[in-house]
Amino acid sequence: MRVPADHPGVAELFAVLAYGEISAFYRLADDARMSPSLQGRVAFASMAAAEMSHFETLHAALTARGVEIYAAMEPYRRALDAYHASTNPSNWHESLVKAYVGDGIAADFYREIAGTLAPEVAEVVREVLAETGHSEFVVHEVREAVRHSAADKDRLMLWGRRLLGEAITQAQYVMAQREDLTDLVIAATGDLADIAALFDRMQLAHADRMAVLGLH
């Protein structure tokens, strides 16, 4: 069953995605301070810039629906800020893993939902979930780091698990925030068993991403 384009949860979905872009921008800019090289600072700045281009897309989509973006984002600030506060990297390698894995988890979740939305809505969602680039840089840096240290590898594997756990916790909190959004997610995924299957698929995708980083 497709969720119609005029479902009131669509604006909510765009709003939570928009605040997600802003908060990812500032998280990347902050975390880049830990980079030992200018290359790392440039890679994170480029990823952050890509988030802002996605934000503009969502801004335009919300404006086209007559929705004021700042008011619409407000209800989601607390949950997304809480996610970042609870997963504050303590070193550069944790920042790299978070940039790669954290974005991926969010993208999986929204992409699953997008599959059941009206095509014009799904297109916006897919566009803003496109790769922010520079993942090659991240993959290379993390693989190098864990190749030389089993202790670092263990720590980063635990870190990845914590990122997944916090993301799922906050995703459930975000969904529970607003009735229209909850309604859209349920309409999109089906029943509770389907939601459980969705989280299972997210765990598998997460494990694949960790493996790409050499964390398996």
Sign of CA dihedral 140, 109, 192, 82: positive
Region binding a second copy by CB under 8 A among candidate stretches 18-26, 91-99, 115-123, 165-173: 18-26
Residues 127, 54: contact at Cβ < 8 Å? Answer: yes
Among 34, 42, 139, 207, binds a second copy (CB under 8 A): 42
In degrees, to the nearest 5, what angle opens at C-alpha 184 toward C-alphas 178 and 190? Answer: 130
Find the part of the chain contacting a second copy (CB under 8 A) among 38-46, 124-132, 169-177, 194-202.
Answer: 38-46
Rule CB under 8 A: choose which of 5, 6, 63, 70 binds a second copy.
Answer: 70
CB atoms under 10 Å from CB of 186, counted, come to 16
Nearer to a second copy, 46 or 177 (CB): 46
How many binding residues for a second copy (CB under 8 A)? 22
Q: Does 32 bind a second copy (CB under 8 A)?
A: yes
Member of 26, 90, 165, 179 binding a second copy (CB under 8 A): 26
Name residue 144's amino acid: E
Q: Distance between CA atoms of 83 and 74, rounded to whole angstroms? A: 15
End-to-end CA distance of the chain: 37
Q: Using the 8-state DSSP alphabet, how is residue 117 labeled?
A: B
Asked whether position 60 contacts a second copy by CB under 8 A, the answer is no
The binding site for a second copy (CB under 8 A) comprises 22, 25-26, 29-30, 32, 38-39, 41-42, 45-46, 48-49, 51-53, 55-56, 70, 73, 77
